[in-house]
Amino acid sequence: MSKERLRILMGENIRNERMARNLSIDELAEILELTPGFVGLVERGQRGATPSTLLKLSEVYGMSIDSMFIMDDEKSLKESNRTPTQIKRKKISSLIVGLSEAELDFVIQTIKSLRMLSNPHVEDDDDDDDE
């Protein structure tokens, strides 16, 4: 397979995964600390990604680097059957990559507060902080 075809395949997989997570190019660019324009070039296969960018993408997407270069029809079918809740959970997992420990603590407390607001009869259980 040519280098150009590999770049195109990689870009398609990056875009498909971004869209499956309901992330905008701007959101992904912010997470990767790149410009949205550059992310767009990578997704269109017009530019390649550096090894460090591929590593960061694998962390954000929770997938191996080599899977970004594979066209898997079964994977595409599985992703197309995701529920809206599954898509939102994947987006949240992508958005928290790279947050500091203090920021993660804030996110956890915010989620706990939201749960208490939606169900005030449930007590806050701090014993699960280390999960």
Residue 13 covered by a domain: yes
Predicted pLDDT at 37:
96
- The answer to whether residue 1 scores a pLDDT higher than 80 is no
| Dihedral, CA of residue 19, residue 84, residue 114 and residue 116, to nearest 10 | -160
Residue 8: give its domain's CATH number: 1.10.260.40
d(CA 18, CA 23): 5
Backbone angles phi, psi at 50, to 5 degrees: -70, 160
Residue 11 covered by a domain: yes
Residue 107 covered by a domain: no
- The answer to whether residue 4 scores a pLDDT higher than 90 is no
Tell me if 40 sits within 8 A of 25, measured CB to CB: yes
User: To the nearest whole percent, how much of the chain has pLDDT over 70?
Assistant: 84
Residue 17 covered by a domain: yes
Residue 67 covered by a domain: yes
> Which pair of tokens denotes residue 41?
């070039």
The total of structural domains in the chain comes to 1
d(CA 122, CA 24): 35
Burial 116-128 (b: 16+ CB within 10 A, else e): eeeeeeeeeeeee
Predicted pLDDT at 68:
83
Residue 36 covered by a domain: yes
For 75-131, write each residue's pLDDT tens digit.
554 556 678 887 788 888 878 877 889 998 999 999 888 888 887 776 655 545 544
Residue 105 covered by a domain: no
d(CA 44, CA 15): 8
d(CA 29, CA 73): 27
Domain that holds residue 49: 3-98
| Section 1-14 average pLDDT | 87
| Section 40-65 average pLDDT | 91
Chain center to CA of 8: 20
Residue 129 covered by a domain: no
